[in-house]
Chain A
Amino acid sequence: MLPFTAEVFFSFIGRYNAAIWPLPVLGWLICLAAAGLTLRANGATGRVIAGLLAVAWAWTGIVFHQFHFSEIFFAAPLFAAAFILQAALFAWIGFFRTTSLHLQSDPVGGAGLGLVVFALLGWPVVDWLNTGEWQSVRLAGTTPAPTVLFTLGVLLLAEGRPPLYLAVIPLLWALLGGVGAWVLQAPETTSLPLAGIGAFGLMIWKSRRTSATFPRE
């Protein structure tokens, strides 16, 4: 049972967006830039993408969960810790590993692209249709659900063996988020957990299918 209603949750999203305005747009643009970089295939852009994802997860963990969501939900600090850990993982990837994250011309890549597009464009539309208020729309880069979906989509674009350890926290959050959405009777009741399970499943399948190690330059 959640300690708030759907009405209160989306009211909170509206006030959060207003409090950090215009950063929701900037966060979305950061994710859009990361998506654009996946069209290039080299390790340097992979580091930049990882760095941009680190920023998105760090912001969502610290500002959204710890500073704002904790006002209405006692579990928010735990989510903050998980998001900060995920940000640290992406930062480590960006600094110390070469990562090729670019659009693959295969079904896994297609699924990844689909998730990326849905997180950037589809999710805000769904929120707007659900609430009727653009202020309460959740955008990738500064709110958890679309950031998680976007991340899962990008991870599906990894060349070679996918980095499964980078998908654990997004998967767990997608499952938790789905439970929360079910309690609130919010639209993402099925889309979040399905995306999480589906993306993780595809990554496992691809990992078993490919014999190549994670590429190094």
Chain B
Amino acid sequence: MPSSRIEFSRRRLLASVPAAAAAAALPRAAAFAATPGLRRAIPKTGVEVPAIGMGTWITFNVGDDPQLRAQRTQVLQTFFDMGGGVIDSSPMYGSSEEVVGHCLGQISDTASMFSATKVWTWLGMSGPSQIEESRRLWDVDVFDLLQVHNLLSWESHLETLLEQKSAGRIKHIGMTTSHGRRHEELETIMATQPIDCVQLTYNIVDREAERRLLPLAADRGLAVIANRPFRQKQLFHMFSHTPLPEWAAEIGCANWAQFFLKFVISHPAITCAIPATSRVDHMRENMGALREPLPDKSMRERMARYIEGL
């Protein structure tokens, strides 16, 4: 996936020693990335993305703190080193977009990045300026994916997104919901509007989307990004005191993060999951799910039954 960054030579010049030092300190990550990970194609365009991406809600909203920004740069470096691509953010996430832009500027090779952000404003007329501000913060000229956040004023924003896609400033258009909200409205949009992607909540306990939205996405050729794959850490609070079942090793799961993520990305309609983390060790665990084998249908049922039984 080619980078959509402007001033690419400036990014190279700005690649810092700390970033290189961080990469050097992660030999396991570098070796990991040598083997290609699971990739999925966005049906409408054939563009491929790694099946594990990265969210930035809370985790990258660190403001101006230089220490916290440096630490997030290490998290992002690990993400790229281990084959990551999709980075999802939003103007709603405070300083996350600005921090993402800062961190990207510290990393020498971001060619695999798939930039995904959102438009989030009541007023349709404010959409273009907000999107432009996001371009400035990310330091990109073209977003790979621009989504209407939580369907807020989606009708007016969709017009803007379609115009910008025609002009080549956006590559894909999406709509998002979370927490299982507004699924009926999303279903109507999916069935009737010229979009490329939807983002919704899907994890091993929140499976409502399996009923109608995921089959509809498959029928309509829409990519699906799964948010809250850990239910905002709640799944760890609920289950991580229990040992991982021994048969989890059959699907290459070494920890609960990989167990939860592999369940999500093994659904045939899911393109990518976007767990968020502020820790390098957790990023390593998450990206470890980017490897075969994935659970098949019977294994997925076994995983769901196991969780229900806990």
Q: How far is the CA of A2 from the CA of B63 in the complex (A)?
A: 14
**In-complex Cβ contact of A11 among B58, B62, B91, B232 (8 A):** B62
Asked whether, in the complex, the Cβ of A8 is within 8 Å of the Cβ of B61, the reply is yes
Chain B proximity of A58: nearest CB distance (Å) = 23
Residues in B neighbouring A4, C-beta threshold 8 A? 58, 61-62, 94
Q: Which residues of B contact A5 (CB under 8 A)?
A: 58, 278
Interface size class of B (residues with CB under 8 A): 10 to 19
A106 / chain B contacts, CB cutoff of 8 Å: none
Q: A3-B93, A72-B94 are in contact. Are A8 and B63 (CB under 8 A)?
A: yes
Given contacts A11-B63, A11-B68, contact A71 B94 (CB under 8 A): yes
- Contacts of B77 on A, CB cut-off 8 Å? none
Instruction: Give the nearest-CB partner of A19 in chain B.
Output: B64
Count residues on chain A whose CB falls below 8 Å from chain B CBs: 14
Q: Does B17 belong to the interface (CB within 8 Å)?
A: no
Contact indicator B62/A8 (Cβ below 8 Å): yes
Contacts of B202 in A (CB 8 A): none
B307 interface hit (Cβ, 8 Å): no
Chain A residues whose C-beta falls within 8 Å of the C-beta of B95 in the assembled complex? 71-72
Output the least CB separation between B152 and chain A (Å).
12
CB neighbours (8 Å) of A71 from chain B are 63-64, 94-95
Residues of A near B64 (CB, < 8 A) are 15, 71
B63 lies within 8 A of A74 (CB): no
- Say yes or no: is B125 at the interface (Cβ < 8 Å to chain A): no
For residue A134, CB closer than 8 A to chain B, the reply is: no
A12 within 8 A of B: yes
Of the candidates A1, A2, A11, A74, which one forms a contact with B65 in the assembled complex, judged by CB atoms under 8 Å apart?
A11
Q: Is B260 an interface residue (CB 8 A)?
A: no
Of the residues B58, B65, B68, contact of A3 by C-beta under 8 Å: B58
User: How distant is B68 from chain A, measured CB to nearest CB, in Å?
Assistant: 6
Do A15 and B65 form a contact, CB below 8 Å, given A3-B57, A3-B58? Answer: yes
Q: Identify the closest chain B residue to A68 (Cβ).
A: B63
Q: Does B92 contact A (CB under 8 A)?
A: yes
Q: Across the two chains, which residue of chain A brings its CB closest to B65?
A: A11
Complex interface bits, B258-274 against A, C-beta within 8 A gives 1, otherwise 0: 00000000000000000
B61 smallest CB distance to A (angstroms):
5
A1 to chain B: closest residue by CB: B232
A77 to chain B, nearest CB (A): 12
Min CB distance, B274 to chain A, in Å? 16
CB-nearest residue of chain B relative to A73?
B94
B residues 89-105 in Cβ contact with A at 8 Å = 91-96
Interface residues of A in 165-192 (CB under 8 A from B): none
Interface of chain A residues 1 through 27 with chain B (CB within 8 A): 1-5, 7-8, 11-12, 15
- Output the nearest chain B residue to A12 by Cβ-Cβ distance: B63
Sample (9) of A-B pairs whose CB atoms are under 8 Å apart: A1-B232, A3-B61, A4-B61, A4-B94, A8-B62, A11-B68, A12-B63, A72-B61, A72-B94
B interface residues (Cβ-Cβ under 8 A, vs A): 57-58, 61-65, 68, 91-96, 232, 278
Q: Can you add 4 more A-B contacts, CB < 8 Å, to A4-B58, A71-B64, A74-B92?
A: A1-B232, A3-B61, A8-B63, A8-B65
**Top 7 closest A-B pairs, CB basis?**
A72-B94, A11-B65, A3-B94, A4-B61, A72-B63, A3-B61, A8-B62
